[in-house]
Every structure is written in C-alpha cells, then in structure tokens.
Amino acid sequence: MKKAIRDLFRFDQPYRKFELLETEPKRTPSFFACRKPKQAKEYAIEGTVDRDLKTNRKRLFTLFRGADNSDLILRSFLIGGRVKALAVCLNGMADAKQIGAFILRPAYRANVDGIPEKSLPVFLKERVLSMQEAELCADWATVVSAITEGRTAVLIDGAKEAVLADTRGFVSRPVGEPQNEMTILGPKEAFTENLRTNVTLLRRILKRPDFVCRFRDAGGTNRTKLVIAYLDGTVNPSLLQELERRLDAIASNDPMTVGRVEQLIEEYTYLPMPQMLKTERPDRAAAAVLDGRIALLVEGCPLAGVLPITLGTLMESGEDTDMRQPVGTIVRLIRMTGALLSTYLPAYFLALALHHPGQLSSEILETVISSRSMVFLPLPVEMIFLLLVFQLVREAGLRVPGAVGHAIGIIGGLLLGQAAVSANIVSTVVLIIVALTGLGNFAVPDYSAQVAIAYYRVALCIAASFGGLLGIAVTGLSTTAVLASLKSFGVPFLTPFAPVAAHREHLFWRERIQNRRGASDWANPDRRRA
C-alpha cells in the first residue's frame, strides 16, 4: 500500500505499460505514402509421407509447433505388438474415445505376421480400424489438413501412406431455431456451425439420389471446408463450373464464412445489393436447390449461401409458400408496399417540403410547419439524423444480447423519440415518417437487402434535399439502371421482369402451389422438371 502511494508520486520510474514496438525499418513515411504491408511468408506444405516414422514425427512436431501447441497429440503404439505406428490428432478436435475404441484397441490385437510393411496401411484400413470412414493418403498436405479438421492420422513405420480415420468429436452447438428468420407456419430448424450436421439437415429434406453434396476446400493457407449442394441433372453445369472456378481463385487466409465467401466470389463488390442469399433455414436452402440453384455451406458458419438470386428471391420470406394463396399474395403486397414506402417516403417528403410545397395540401403544410416551429435543425439534417439514429438503435439492439437488446429497442423507440420531440431536436411529423420507414424496412425479409435499402434511402434523402423531385428521379433512374445491369452469377438481378422469363417468380402475386412445375427457367437449368 505504501509502495503504491509512493509510486503514484514518483516520476522517475520507467513507464511500465506494454507498447507494441515498431518492427518496420526506421524511416519517416511521407504524408501521402501508403506503406505496403510485409508479405506474409508462404507456408507451403509439400511432399509425401516418408517411410521413416521418426522423420514423419519430427516433421509433424515442427509443423504443428509441438513445443508450444500442447494440444498436439503424438501417440506412439505398436500394431500387433510388433510394428511401430504413430497416431496424430489434436486434443479437443478428435474424440479420444473413438481413438481408443476403434484405433488403438483393435491395433493392439491385430495379427500382422506375414504382412509386408508397404501393405500395412491397406491392412489397417480394411481389417483393423472399425470406424465408419477411413482412407489412405500419401500427400503430406492432405494429412495435415485432416489433422486440423479433427481426424486422426495413423502413420506406420516403413509405409508411404497414412491412414486418415474420421474421429471428429469436437463440441458444437445443437440444431436450434433460426434467430433472424422467424416463421409461424414453417419449420423451426436452423443450420449450425458443423458442416456435417448441415448436410444432414439438407439430406433429410432432399431424399433423392441426384442430390449432390460436393465437399471441397477453399482459401489460401487456411483452407476451409465447404460443401456445394445441388441437384445433378437440374443445375446448369456452366454455373457449377463457374462457381468452382471462382472458389479456386480464393487466396484469402481469413477464416471463411458465407458472407466472406460471397464477397470473394461475387462480381460487383462495390454495390450494396447482395448477390447471394444467406439463409439460416434448411428448408429454404432445399427449396432453392430444387429450383435449380446451388446452396453453399461453409464449415463454421450457420448459414447457407444460395446462388444465383434475383430481387424476387430477396423479397420472399421462407413461409410465403406455407400460407394460402390469397393470404400469401396480400402479405407480399404489404411487404412490397412497405419496402417501397421505406425507400421513397422520407425522400419524397423532403422533396415536397423543401422544393415543391405547392404539392402538399394545406392541412399537411400547416401541421408540418407548426410541428417544426421550434426545431433548430434544418429539415434534411433532421431527417437524415433520425434515419441514422434509427439504424443506431437497431444495431445496438442486435449487438446487445437477450432481454437488454429488446429493451434498447423500446427505450430507443419510445423514450428517445418522445424526449427528442420535447427537446425540439426533431419534429413529430418527421418522427412518424421515420417510424413508418423503419417498419417498412423490417418488412424486407433479407437482412443484407434491408441494410442496403437503409443506406440507399439516406442517399435518396440527400438527393432530394439538393434537387427535390429532380434529384429523386435522377437517382431512382440511375439505381434502376444499375440494378438492371447487375448479375448474380450470370443471372440478371431483375429477372423475370427484365429480362422476361417464362417462369414468373412474382413479386406481388403468389402463384398456386398446384401450378409449380419444376425448376425456374431463368437459371437455365439442365432439366426443368425436377
């Protein structure tokens, strides 16, 4: 205690707080120069499995930084009491019970007399190991990749191949309910982080032999497992080919999620509109696959990416088809009205109030003027401020967990709004417009599309405040043109309106279930009748 008080008043002691030291060469960069980052060393894993077990052990120890990574397990054992072998796995990724029960115990009891060393891997795989999945592999990179996934690599002294046994037993979240795609009538299962589980969820819906789940990996040094799920014979082969090509071109070392994969493989990265649908729901992904599209699953991400998509796909909710046709149509109409209101209402109001007051009726004009009589902010600033505050409240509600998150929405909506009006920061009319706008925004089912519309709305408000209806017209026309030029993996975004397709995926009209005949034609499927 005395030392602490004394230290408080001493100024001759060196500063003890940790600082990240500059490791770059000492030179002052110019104001405009951007320093290029250091090139990351490429960790190339090449070569094949060595016959010598000690060499393999040493190599693995070095590669996995065994001195520091205490979860690397190098378990030596004797097959049949005679042949040296090494089981390599990562603690926590591999299931120890499976290793014990299906690898070690049978290996001890195995009779390897008369079996040549080079045939031992085959013998082990076919006669000894009793797990569901086991394969032989000579490629060192594959062996390393398998270990990182949670499998166990069994290396045998004198053999050039390793046996890769599926002993994955890491802890993962069980199948739960979707958090962002709530439904009343539809199923309530959601994807999880486990790729295998997600594939299972799809297979439970698509019980057909032509449903293909192609496993592959993508990325730079940090290869992430993904699954390309499609209906063979229905999906367009050139779409599949193009997707594979784009996935091959990914060189990023970041951990992969569906969102990141989307950004790495899409064409128009600067546009806010998404070009892939991200869904938590297996039934929605399965419906898309049946429609001739592709579902992309990524290890560690509880979402499926569906491609190609159109604007209609983003405006559909998962339970549209579960409702009766008239009700489904009305709901779609309300949704589209909400989306249009949410996009154009604030800008339209700004345009009329600032540039075309003659278009407002006397009653509205008097109400607006009287409500703004003490507000100090100019109208465009007030509108944009409120729109951004709305987004802020929404983001805060999303990031804060549980009941507190819900409370923030209520606090933000009621108290802040009321307080802001009383404090003459905003006016009631603008508050109502922003509230209606927000409600309309939430009617858009897709989160990415919601966010894109939210920020497009702000751009429209700026255009309206500068140029009135002229600004809105010009911005709206430019946006329509850009959307018309947008393609999602070769499919125009505004199909089936422009270009016109034979199979009408209606924005407003929910077609009868009885009239659905196979896959949509705009994805140019190989075979429409699914």
Partner 1 sequence: MRRIFVILLALLCSVGCVHSKSLDEYAYVLNIGVEPGTTMPYLVTFLVSMPGGGTEEITVTNAVLSAEARTFSEAAETLNAAYPGRLSFSRASLLVLGEDLVREGAQTAFLDFSFGKQDLWQNLRVAVARDSIKELFEGLLTDDDPSLRKIKTAVSKLSTRSGLTMDAGYSAYLEAVQDNRIDAMLTYAGVNEWALSPDLLGDGAYPYTGGSLLVDSTLKTSTAGSAVFDGDRMVGVLNGQHTMSVLMVTDAFRRGKRVFTLPDGRPLVVTLYRMRRPQIELSGDTAQVKLYLEADFSQPQTVPMDSETFKAFVRDRIEADLAAVCRALQNAGSDAMGFGRFAAKAFHSAAAWEAYDWKTAYRALKVTFTVSLGLVNDPRDSGLE
Partner 2 sequence: MNLRLGAFGRQESVSLVLLGTFVSGCFAIDTNAVFRDGNRIYLVQGIATVLALLLFELLTGAIRRRGGNALYALIGDARWKPVLAVPLSLALLLAAMQPMEQYLCAITQYVFVETKQTVICLYLLPCLTLLVLLGAETLARTARLMLPILLLSVLVTLALVAAQGRTYRLYPIPLSDPLAWFEQIAGATYRAFMPLLALLCIGDGTQTPNALKSAGRLGGLLGGGLAVAALFGLSITFSYAQLSGMPSAFYRMLVEVRAENPTLRLDRATFFLWMTGAILVSAFYLYAACVLFAQSFGVRDIRPLGMSVCALAVTLILVLYYDSETTQAVLKTLYRDAWLLALLPVPFLLIRTRKERVVCGVSS
Instruction: Give the footprint of partner 2 on this chain (CB under 8 A).
Output: 348, 355-356, 359-361, 467-474, 476-478, 480-482, 484-485, 492, 494, 497-500
Residues 483-522 that bind partner 1 (CB under 8 A): none
What is the full DSSP assignment across 300-324? T-S-EEEES--HHHHH--TTTTTS-
Q: In the complex with partner 2, which residue's Cβ is closer, 55 or 269?
A: 269
Size of site (CB under 8 A) for partner 1: 30
Least Å distance between CB 360 and partner 1? 8
DSSP state of 89: E
Taking the C-alpha atoms of residue 206 and residue 325, their distance in angstroms, rounded to an integer, is 24
Least Å distance between CB 382 and partner 1? 10
Least Å distance between CB 365 and partner 2? 11
First to last CA, the chain: 78
Residue type, 176: G
Give how far Cα 100 sits from Cα of 153, 315, 385, Å.
14, 51, 62
HSE (side-chain half, CA atoms, 13 Å) at 458: 16
Q: In the complex with partner 2, which residue's Cβ is closer, 249 or 482?
A: 482
Least Å distance between CB 504 and partner 2? 13
The candidate with the shortest Cα–Cα distance to 255, out of 295, 280, 223, is 223
Least Å distance between CB 156 and partner 1? 57
Taking the C-alpha atoms of residue 106 and residue 95, their distance in angstroms, rounded to an integer, is 16
What is the full DSSP assignment across 436-489? HHHHHHHTSS-HHHHHHHHHHHHHHHHHHHHHHHHHHHHHHHHHHHHHHH-EET
Residues 330-359 that bind partner 1 (CB under 8 A): 353-358
Q: In the complex with partner 2, which residue's Cβ is closer, 83 or 507?
A: 507
Binding mask 378-397 for partner 1 (x = CB under 8 A): xx------------------
The listed partner (partner 2, partner 1, none) that binds 494, CB under 5 to 8 Å by sort, is partner 2
**Cβ contact 193:301 at 8 Å:** yes
Length of the chain: 530
The listed partner (partner 2, partner 1, none) that binds 367, CB under 5 to 8 Å by sort, is partner 1
φ and ψ at residue 306, rounded to 5 degrees? -110, 130
Least Å distance between CB 137 and partner 2? 46
Binding mask 440-479 for partner 1 (x = CB under 8 A): -----------------------x-xxxx-xx--------
The listed partner (partner 1, partner 2, none) that binds 485, CB under 5 to 8 Å by sort, is partner 2
Residue 417 contacts partner 1 per CB under 8 A: no
Give how far Cα 227 sits from Cα of 197, 301, 337, 424, Å.
12, 12, 37, 55
Q: Which residues bind partner 1 (CB under 8 A)?
A: 353-358, 362-363, 365-374, 378-379, 421, 427-428, 463, 465-468, 470-471
